[in-house]
Each structure stands twice: as structure tokens, then as C-alpha cells.
Amino acid sequence: MKISEKVPLAPLTTLRIGGPARYLIEVASESELTEALTFAHDKNLPIFILGGGSNVLVSDQGFDGLVIQPKFTGISVHIEDTFSNDVASAVIVVAGAGEVLDDVISKTVDMGLWGLENMSFVPGTVGGAIIQNAGCYGQEIGEVVEGVHVYDRKQDEFDLLSHEQCHFTYRHSVFNTSARDRYIILSVNLRLSKEGTPDIKYKDLQNFFGDRVPSQKELREAVIEIRKSKGQDPREYWTAGSFFSNFKLSKSEFDNLCSKIKQEFGSEKASELRDLVNKIIAPSDQDKIKVPAAWILDQLLRLKGTSVGGAMLSKLQVLNVLNTGHATATDCVTLFHKVRNIVRAKTGLILVTEPEFVGML
């Protein structure tokens, strides 16, 4: 097992920001993982698990501990009665945590398996997607998780967590909330279906297809094309993906928001928001009303292009914070606070970030 020292982390993230890791170890097996954890324990080092680097903002000072990069790979297909009651149409795809999420989606679509196609081109690895309950255009990965193979650092054992034990909600799971830092994900069992219909209820997809019902492959291709048109291709733009979470409000909170928007921006804008949320059905947190942060930041507040130093809200997709070439982590954090203060002053809403901040207090 190779232990590297003072490894620059910026090239390992899609934002291309961050100082060095004191140590970095790639692990591809259970034995290598336990060796890495023993190394960290012996040196009393904090640990950070770094997947595809698409949902993190690393401190300019880096991370003074051990960064572990899981390289658990492999994709296999199983049809077993024990996995699902609906054995006639259910297929279990087992994917390693280190697999690129879009590679897995591409293969499942090629096999005609439904359940992930709307998440096409979401960056990062499978493990990172599970932690965040990543989602796009009406699908969340937590919906199709049958079980997650983990190493339990508290119990010092390998285990399989059921879907229920993962506690998936909007952009959250047990892995980034109540049991943060307890589990290291090795692989996941995804329950997909051999039968399905395209989900095109989101406006972008409706505009793309009109009255035509696409095939699964056409739907995937459309999602990729739309995401690229919004600057969400990490090969062209340095971004961590969506930097801001959508708002989840109770009915009374939503009514208060609409009243405030009517007072500040006029009744037409308040009606526009009501019409918009009536068309959105979120896979998780069904008791809440989903208010798109993009609508608040762009359609209401016109904040595209707002910048601090080398960090800027994308002019193509306002939810993306771009590294225009020389941004620092400090620039990104300062920009976030600037935007959050504007949103709070104008709407009363509290903006929340999606990426995990690494090496920061």
C-alpha cells in the first residue's frame, strides 16, 4: 500500500481548489482499508474520504490528516428472489463505491434497466452519490438503494446496511448526518427495473421533448445535453456541481414566503412561484414544499454572474459556483456568505450549501 505525503488536493476535485493533504492513500480492498485506518490511528490523524471530488470544497491550507481514496470498483448484475418481492421485474446491480456514477448509469441504460437515467451526467463516484443522496430531474439515488456495504469504524466490522437504515432524505443520509464519519462505503446494491416509463415532468425535459415520449436512451442523451448547456460539464468548467440546496418548506413557511415576495416583488412573481412548485414533486421529504434555489437566485434576485475574487455564480446555471481560473476556497466561502445575506434580506430564506467543506472550521 503506497502512502503519499503532501499531495495537492486541487487536481483531485472538480473545483480545482485546495491545498495539500498531509497523507493520501488509495485503497482497493478491505485489507488495504483496514491498513490505512490503522496507519491513521497510530499517528492520531483525522480522516477524510475523497471520492470523485465533485461535491467538496477543500481549504486553501489543505487537510492536515489522512485522505483515503476508495478505489473499490466493479459492476455486476444479480437476479435473486431474496433481493425483492417484485422478482419478475427487479434487477440488482452491485456497484463499487469507487465507480464513476455516470459510467454505472450508462451501463444500466444500455441494459434497459430503469431507475437512474434522469441522473445522467451527475459527476462523482457511486459512494459520494450515496452519502449525499444525489439526485437530478426528479430522481434520487436513495430511491433505488437496496443495501449499502460498509465498514463500520465504531464497531470495527464490515456490515450491510438496509435501505431503511440509510435514512435517505433530500441531499442527506445517515452517512452525512447522524452517523457522519462512522461508515466507509465499499459498494451498493441498486434495485432497478426491467420495465419503466420516462419521467419528463421537469420543465427542461418537457421543453426538450414537447409532446413526444422519448425512449430511455433518448432521455439520457437529453439530460446530458441539457446539463452541458448549463455549464455542468466538469471538463469545461471548474465547479463542484450544485453549490446550493433547494429549500424545503412547510405550507405555512411557503405561504409566508409568497406573501413576502408579493410585498417585495409584486403579485406576479408570487403567482409564478406558486405555479412552479405545483409542478414539482420531490422524491423525498414529501411533507415539504420544494422551492428551487435556482428560481430564487436567478428569476427573483438576478444574481447570475455575482463574483468574489475568482469565484463566480455561473451565468449558465446560477446554482454553480465557478472557479474562473484563480479562485481560492476563501473566495468561494465569501461569495456564499454574500449571496446568503442577499437571499435572507430579500426573502427571509436561509441558503444552505451542498458541498462538504474540508479542512475548514
Q: Give the DSSP per-residue string, 225-251.
A: HHHHHTT--TTTS-EEEE-BPPEEE-H
CATH number given to 75-193: 3.30.465.10
Over the stretch 212-230, which tens digit does the pLDDT of each residue have? 999 999 999 999 999 999 9
Give the span between the Cα atoms of 77 and 193, in whole angstroms: 12
Dihedral, 74, 79, 81, 87 alpha carbons, nearest 10: 130
Residues comprising the chain, all counted: 361
| Mean pLDDT across the chain | 94
CATH number given to 3-70: 3.30.43.10
Q: Report domain extents, the chain.
A: 3-70, 75-193, 239-358
Q: Global pTM?
A: 0.91
Residues annotated as part of the active site:
171, 242, 354
Q: Which residues, including other chains, have CB under 8 Å from residue 62's CB and lie 6 or more apart?
A: 9, 18, 19, 20, 21, 22, 359
**pLDDT score at 286:** 66
Closest to 138 measured CA to CA, from 328, 310, 286, 303: 286
Q: Give the right CATH number for 239-358 from 3.30.70.260, 3.40.50.150, 3.90.78.10, 3.30.870.10.
A: 3.90.78.10
Structural element, H or E, at residue 264: helix 251-265
Strand duo 75-78 + 157-162: pairing: unpaired
Give the span between the Cα atoms of 119 and 141, in whole angstroms: 8
**pLDDT score at 288:** 86
Q: Across residues 201-207, what is the average pLDDT?
A: 91
| Predicted confidence (pLDDT) at residue 82 exceeds the cutoff of 50 | no
Over the stretch 37-52, which tens digit does the pLDDT of each residue have? 999 999 999 999 999 9
Q: Across residues 279-304, what is the average pLDDT?
A: 84
Instruction: Using the structure block, give the residue that is written with the C-alpha cell 440509510.
Output: 166
Task: Kindly report the number of other CB atoms within 10 A of residue 267's CB atom.
Answer: 11
